[in-house]
């Protein structure tokens, strides 16, 4: 396979010299050559190859100086919407959405959480009512990352309030340019407004933009969430990739601030980061194909803990510089970048890692119940119609 | 030696109640957030009221020097309450650090007259060392030259609102009118205690007799001890606020505080606070007594309380979920204060290193 892949990359580069080809044109050609995400099917940007083979393509293209699709700008599309569309979308939906999603022409966001439904996503109350060929959606979503740059959203809404909460939800693709969609910035502890409040007022969604069956939204959403957790915590990284690399560099650059006690902590964190990286590799090897399971979710637990401990360590190490911050200006960033900017920003942004995409507490419950098979806590809300639940 | 009293006396409780009332009125979460977003992040109106009506600037200044002759136990109670509301006032920089340095050299008449002004609330001062300095750390390199003081000191607490700068230089301790230095506020991690860079380029000053190193050491020791009580206040607010929220936040048809995993986390935090408060009280009591165990007491308190405050603030954000990540919820103000306090006046690691030889645990 690897020889064949290299040949395909060479053919792409020969036909579209990155030095002279328009960026978008190159990305479209790459998609059409099946080199976008090789584990996707032929015709949808892939070759039906193993996930691990992507590395070969990425390395070859990077060597040739080819543009990438700026994954930090389109993380929700790549990590969450795409695998869900692939798993549940009709052929027409896959053809319509995946190519511009991957090239970055269309940014996606995730309209799941609501003020009253975060960990308990299945309690959500945004209502979708059928009206001819359309659905009419009204409700409020919150903490929606990059809604301000998004063209499309993945949305879960309640279509039947009379059945228990898990059974009455349906999954849609929502057009963010619909006049009923209002996006308001929601400022974060970093000073930025990376996330938003999104108010939906009689938004019309054609039934053709439904993903999965009516009432099957919970199952579809699970696919999104499992992929989200892997996207946040389980990305392939080289040694010293991610937060450990940033902190190790800070250590190397600050000899006068070193102490034996700090050194010991750093080396321990380095070891854990390396082991987490290797555990991610093992997981990807087990998962050659198909959707990630609860083990993937568990990766995010360790990822968040390490990102937080490391970034906190760096602020402490920097002492009088750790007391400073780069900029509190309210901005609406285009990118989500956990390791960007300065130490104080990284420390504060990392706090979100154990909340976004399922909190660390919820992930521990998943490990305990779905991996270890421990009994769940008594549930008071499982068999009650959604409309009768305490709110 | 009789056993030190680690409880709060009636007088201390009364003092706490007055400070808490005032802060509830003038420095609730919304007021503090509004203030730190404004062009003048320090609340000098509140500071004047604290000084004039409650006398928080003169508590531990002897009566002979214009103070109330109370002690660091009372000062620590004020710090605890100020921590509980993260009120943006220059208490640590002026009433604690600068005042403690001047008290150490109070044989000098310039020092005495400065102290009288600080105690009366007629002036505010800053001790010109990085807030990250710790007892025994190397001093910044301000030099006294023919034309005045020369040098730059970074990340100085509360300097932006100081009238008077207390400056350790190579030849001793100097007093500098703020207008004679260049004080540049810097964007700070802790919004409620912003730091500033202080630059001297030939600043006129008055030299105070006595050892600068001894004055700074005394100030850093005192400051670190009092800071432990502030950290207890920060942690207590975080615990109280989180407990209240988890009682009212429903997910899965029940209050999230009913999940045992969370109950245990909060029980652990409460337990940490029990230790932190005991250590902070002991440090305040030994500082008040001028006891030789004070350095041990302070390093024990700092090693512990800094970490407890950070842990409490981190739990507060985490257990509030998405709301805890928003600017409009006050949790972040406490997180930023707690994290800056961890660096302030010595990290826990520095204090453990200071402590070890004092208690015969050679490395
Ligand atoms: C930076 C950031 C980006 C985000 N981006 C998006 C986005 O793009 N789209 C989107 O839809 N959402 C997004 N979210 C929202 C996120 O998914 C929710 O905040 C999260 O699921 C938690 O929900 P909550 O905030 O309502 O907290 P709650 O569910 O109210 O939880 C409060 C606390 O209780 C704990 N808890 C809850 N239930 C249990 C239990 N059964 N056992 C033990 N502990 C429990 C939680 O772990 C948490 O600590 C984002 C959040 C953040 C912080």
**Residue-wise DSSP of A129-152:** EEETTEEEEEEEEES-TTGGG-SE
Q: Which of A13, A36, A68 is the last residue of a domain?
A: A68
Of A282-291, A317-326, B201-210, the poorest mean pLDDT is in A282-291
The answer to whether the CB atoms of A120 and B251 lie below 8 A apart is yes
- Note the pLDDT tens digit of each residue in B285-327: 999 999 999 999 999 999 999 999 999 999 999 999 999 999 9
The answer to whether the CB atoms of B187 and A319 lie below 8 A apart is no
In a domain, B5, yes or no: no
Q: Other C-beta atoms within 10 Å of B297: how many?
A: 25
pLDDT averaged over every residue in chain B: 97
The answer to whether the CB atoms of B187 and A324 lie below 8 A apart is yes
A390 close contact with B: CB closer than 8 A: yes
In a domain, B2, yes or no: no
Across the interface, of A187, A312, A326, the residue whose CB is closest to B328 is A187
* Same-domain pairing of B327 and B310: yes
* Same-domain pairing of B199 and B238: no
CA A367 – CA A359 distance, rounded (Å): 12
Residues in CB range of A262: below 8 A, 6 or more apart: A313, A316, A317, B349
* Same-domain pairing of B238 and B342: yes
HSE toward the beta carbon, residue A99, CA cutoff 13 A: 18
Query: Both tokens of residue A182?
Result: 């209002």
How many residues would you count in chain B?
Answer: 363
CATH at A364: 1.20.140.10
Task: Return the beta strands (E) in chain A as ranges.
Answer: 108-111, 127-131, 134-142, 152-158, 169-175, 181-186, 195-206, 210-211
Q: Provide the domain limits for residue B167.
A: 127-209
A377 close contact with B: CB closer than 8 A: yes
Best residue for ligand 1 mutational test, from A109, A116, A143 (most atoms within 8 Å of Cβ): A143
B340 close contact with A: CB closer than 8 A: yes
In a domain, A190, yes or no: no
In a domain, B47, yes or no: yes
Nearest CA in chain A to B248: A391
- Note the pLDDT tens digit of each residue in A230-266: 888 777 889 999 999 999 999 999 999 999 999 999 9
Provide, as residue numbers in chain A, all residues whose Cβ is less than 8 Å from the Cβ of B328.
187
Provide, as residue numbers in chain B, all residues whose Cβ is less than 8 Å from the Cβ of A379.
252-253
In a domain, A164, yes or no: no
The more confidently predicted of residues B140 and A304 is: A304
Query: Both tokens of residue B269?
Result: 């935090």
Q: Provide the domain limits for residue A322.
A: 221-371
CA neighbor of A276 nearest in space, from A311, A242, A228 = A242
- Structural contact between residues B228 and B283, judged by C-beta atoms closer than 8 angstroms: yes
pLDDT at A368 exceeding the cut of 70: yes
pLDDT of residue A2: 84
pLDDT of residue A290: 62
Told to judge if A228 belongs to the known catalytic residues of this protein, a careful annotator would answer yes
* Same-domain pairing of B237 and B342: yes
* Same-domain pairing of B21 and B53: yes
Reported as a pLDDT band with limits 50, 70 and 90, residue A281 is confident
CA neighbor of B125 nearest in space, from B171, B165, B182 = B165
pLDDT at A57 exceeding the cut of 80: yes
Reported as a pLDDT band with limits 50, 70 and 90, residue A289 is low
- Note the pLDDT tens digit of each residue in B60-101: 999 999 899 999 999 999 999 999 999 999 999 999 999 999
CA neighbor of B246 nearest in space, from B337, B315, B334 = B315
* Same-domain pairing of B312 and B180: no
Q: What whole-number percentage of chain B has pLDDT above 70?
A: 100
Q: What is the CA radius of gyration of chain B?
A: 20
- Structural contact between residues A346 and A340, judged by C-beta atoms closer than 8 angstroms: yes
SS3 category, B39: coil
Beta-ladder partners of B206: B175
* Same-domain pairing of B118 and B164: no
CATH at B156: 2.40.110.10
- Distance between Cα A358 and ligand 1 center (Å): 6
B148-157 and A210-211: which strand pairing? Answer: unpaired
In a domain, B83, yes or no: yes
Across the interface, of B155, B318, B327, the residue whose CB is closest to A323 is B155
In a domain, A319, yes or no: yes
**Choosing from A60, A106, A194, A228, which is the catalytic residue?**
A228
The more confidently predicted of residues A236 and B214 is: B214
The answer to whether the CB atoms of B250 and A391 lie below 8 A apart is yes
pLDDT at B243 exceeding the cut of 80: yes
In a domain, A89, yes or no: no
pLDDT of residue A231: 81
Q: Other C-beta atoms within 10 Å of A98: how many?
A: 26
Contacts of A180-185 with CB under 8 Å at 24 or more apart are: A180/A137, A180/A138, A180/A204, A183/A144, A183/A147, A183/A148, A185/A148, A185/A330, A185/A332
CA distance B9 to chain A (A): 35
Across the interface, of B191, B254, B325, the residue whose CB is closest to A352 is B325
- Structural contact between residues A85 and A95, judged by C-beta atoms closer than 8 angstroms: no
Residues in CB range of A256: below 8 A, 6 or more apart: none
A363 close contact with B: CB closer than 8 A: no
CA A227 – CA A121 distance, rounded (Å): 16
- Note the pLDDT tens digit of each residue in B114-170: 999 999 999 999 999 999 999 989 987 899 999 999 999 999 999 999 999 999 999
* Same-domain pairing of B81 and B136: no
Across the interface, of A119, A259, A315, the residue whose CB is closest to B349 is A259
In a domain, A59, yes or no: yes
* Same-domain pairing of B223 and B326: yes
Reported as a pLDDT band with limits 50, 70 and 90, residue A291 is low
Query: Both tokens of residue B360?
Result: 């015969």
In a domain, B363, yes or no: no
pLDDT of residue A204: 98
195-254 in chain A: CB under 8 A from chain B: 195
pLDDT at B1 exceeding the cut of 70: no
Q: Which of B209, B230, B249 is the last residue of a domain?
A: B209
HSE toward the beta carbon, residue B346, CA cutoff 13 A: 33
Residue that the structure tokens 């500098």 belong to: B176
The answer to whether the CB atoms of A325 and B189 lie below 8 A apart is yes
Nearest CA in chain B to A354: B318
Reported as a pLDDT band with limits 50, 70 and 90, residue A50 is confident
Q: Select the residue from A319, A331, A364, A384 to test the B interface by mutation, using most B Cβ atoms within 10 A.
A: A319
Q: Quote the ipTM score.
A: 0.97
Question: How many domains in chain A?
Answer: 2
- Note the pLDDT tens digit of each residue in B169-187: 999 999 999 999 999 999 9
In a domain, B56, yes or no: yes
Nearest CA in chain B to A187: B327
CATH at B108: 1.10.540.10
Mean pLDDT for A47-55 is 88
In a domain, A48, yes or no: yes
Residue that the structure tokens 């579809």 belong to: A220
* Same-domain pairing of B118 and B134: no
Q: What whole-number percentage of chain A has pLDDT above 90?
A: 86
The answer to whether the CB atoms of B322 and A380 lie below 8 A apart is no
Reported as a pLDDT band with limits 50, 70 and 90, residue A288 is low
* Same-domain pairing of B184 and B316: no
pLDDT of residue A235: 78
In a domain, A144, yes or no: no
In a domain, A279, yes or no: yes
pLDDT at A319 exceeding the cut of 80: yes
Query: Both tokens of residue B110?
Result: 């310039």
In a domain, B4, yes or no: no
Beta-ladder partners of A174: A153
Question: How many domains in chain B?
Answer: 3
- End-to-end alpha-carbon separation of chain B, Å? 31
pLDDT at B23 exceeding the cut of 70: yes
pLDDT at B198 exceeding the cut of 70: yes
DSSP conformation class of A388: G
Provide, as residue numbers in chain A, all residues whose Cβ is less than 8 Å from the Cβ of B188.
323-325
Provide, as residue numbers in chain B, all residues whose Cβ is less than 8 Å from the Cβ of A324.
155, 186-189, 195
CB contacts < 8 A (A, B) = 132
pLDDT at B56 exceeding the cut of 70: yes
pLDDT of residue A52: 81
CA neighbor of B354 nearest in space, from B141, B164, B48, B137 = B137
CATH at B323: 1.20.140.10
* Same-domain pairing of B222 and B353: yes
Mean pLDDT for B220-241 is 98
In a domain, B1, yes or no: no
Q: Select the residue from B321, B338, B353, B362 to test the A interface by mutation, using most A Cβ atoms within 10 A.
A: B321
Across the interface, of A259, A320, A389, the residue whose CB is closest to B154 is A320
């Amino acid at each position: 396979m690897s020889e064949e892949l290299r040949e395909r990359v060479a053919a792409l580069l020969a036909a579209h010299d990155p030095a002279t080809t328009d960026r978008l044109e190159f990305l479209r050609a790459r998609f059409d050559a099946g080199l976008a995400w090789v584990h996707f099917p032929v015709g949808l940007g892939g070759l039906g190859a193993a996930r691990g083979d992507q590395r070969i393509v990425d390395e070859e293209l990077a060597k040739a100086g080819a543009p990438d699709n700026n994954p930090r700008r389109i993380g929700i599309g790549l990590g969450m919407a795409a695998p869900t569309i692939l798993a549940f979308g009709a052929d027409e939906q896959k053809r319509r959405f995946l190519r511009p999603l991957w090239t970055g022409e269309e940014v996606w966001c995730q309209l799941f959480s609501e003020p009253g439904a975060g960990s308990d996503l299945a309690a959500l109350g945004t209502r979708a009512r059928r009206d001819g060929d359309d659905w009419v959606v009204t409700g409020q979503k919150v903490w929606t990352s990059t809604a301000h740059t998004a063209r499309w959203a993945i949305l879960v809404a309640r279509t039947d309030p009379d059945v228990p909460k898990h059974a009455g939800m349906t999954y849609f693709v929502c057009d963010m340019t619909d006049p009923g969609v209002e996006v308001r910035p929601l400022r974060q502890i970093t000073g930025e407004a990376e996330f938003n409040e999104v108010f939906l007022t009689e938004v019309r969604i054609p039934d053709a933009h439904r993903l999965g069956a009516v009432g099957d939204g919970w199952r579809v959403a699970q696919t999104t969430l499992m992929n989200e957790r892997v996207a946040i915590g389980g990305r392939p990284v080289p040694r010293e990739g991610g937060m450990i690399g940033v902190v190790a560099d800070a250590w190397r650059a600050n000899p006068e601030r070193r102490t034996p006690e700090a050194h010991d902590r750093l080396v321990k964190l380095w070891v854990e980061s390396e082991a987490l990286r290797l555990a991610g590799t093992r997981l990807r090897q087990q998962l050659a194909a198909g959707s990630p399971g609860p083990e993937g979710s568990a990766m995010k637990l360790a990822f968040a803990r390490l990102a937080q401990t490391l970034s906190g360590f760096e602020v402490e190490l920097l002492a009088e510089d750790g007391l400073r911050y780069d900029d509190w200006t309210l901005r609406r960033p285009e990118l989500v970048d956990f390791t960007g900017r300065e130490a104080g920003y990284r420390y504060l942004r990392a706090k979100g890692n154990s909340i976004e995409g399922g909190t660390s507490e919820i992930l521990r419950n998943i490990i305990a119940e779905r991996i270890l098979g421990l009994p769940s806590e008594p549930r008071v809300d499982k068999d009650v119609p959604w409309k009768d639940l305490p709110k | 030696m009789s056993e030190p009293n680690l409880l709060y006396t009636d007088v201390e409780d009364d003092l706490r109640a007055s400070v808490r009332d005032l802060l509830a009125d003038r420095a609730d979460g919304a007021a503090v957030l509004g203030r730190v977003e404004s062009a003048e992040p320090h609340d000098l109106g509140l500071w004047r009221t604290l000084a004039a009506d409650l006398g928080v600037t003169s508590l531990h200044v002897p009566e002979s020097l214009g103070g109330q002759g109370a002690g660091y136990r009372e000062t620590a109670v004020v710090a605890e309450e100020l921590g509980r509301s993260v009120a943006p006032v220059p208490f640590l920089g002026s009433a604690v650090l600068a005042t403690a340095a001047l008290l150490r050299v109070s044989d000098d008449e310039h020092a005495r007259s400065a102290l009288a002004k600080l105690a009366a609330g007629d002036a505010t001062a800053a001790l010109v060392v990085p807030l990250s300095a710790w007892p025994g750390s190397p001093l910044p390199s301000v030099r006294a030259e023919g034309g005045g003081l020369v040098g730059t000191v970074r990340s100085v607490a509360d300097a932006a609102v100081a009238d008077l700068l207390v400056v350790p230089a190579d030849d001793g301790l100097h007093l500098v009118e703020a207008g004679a230095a260049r004080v540049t506020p810097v964007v700070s991690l802790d919004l409620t205690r912003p730091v500033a860079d202080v630059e001297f380029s030939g600043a006129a000053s008055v030299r105070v007799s006595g050892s600068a190193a001894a004055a700074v050491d005394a100030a850093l020791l005192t400051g670190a001890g009092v800071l432990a009580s502030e950290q207890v206040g920060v942690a207590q607010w975080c615990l109280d606020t989180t407990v209240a929220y988890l009682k009212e936040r429903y997910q899965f048809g029940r209050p999230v505080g009913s999940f045992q995993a969370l109950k245990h986390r909060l029980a652990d935090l409460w337990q940490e606070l029990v230790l932190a408060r005991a250590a902070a009280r002991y440090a305040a009591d030994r500082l008040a007594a001028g006891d030789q165990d004070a350095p041990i007491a302070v390093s024990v308190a700092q090693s512990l309380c800094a970490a407890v405050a950070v842990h409490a603030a981190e739990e507060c954000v985490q257990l509030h979920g998405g709301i805890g990540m928003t600017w409009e919820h006050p949790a972040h103000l406490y997180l930023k204060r707690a994290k800056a306090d961890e660096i302030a006046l010595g990290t826990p690691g520095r204090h453990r290193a200071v402590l070890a030889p004092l208690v015969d645990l050679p490395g």
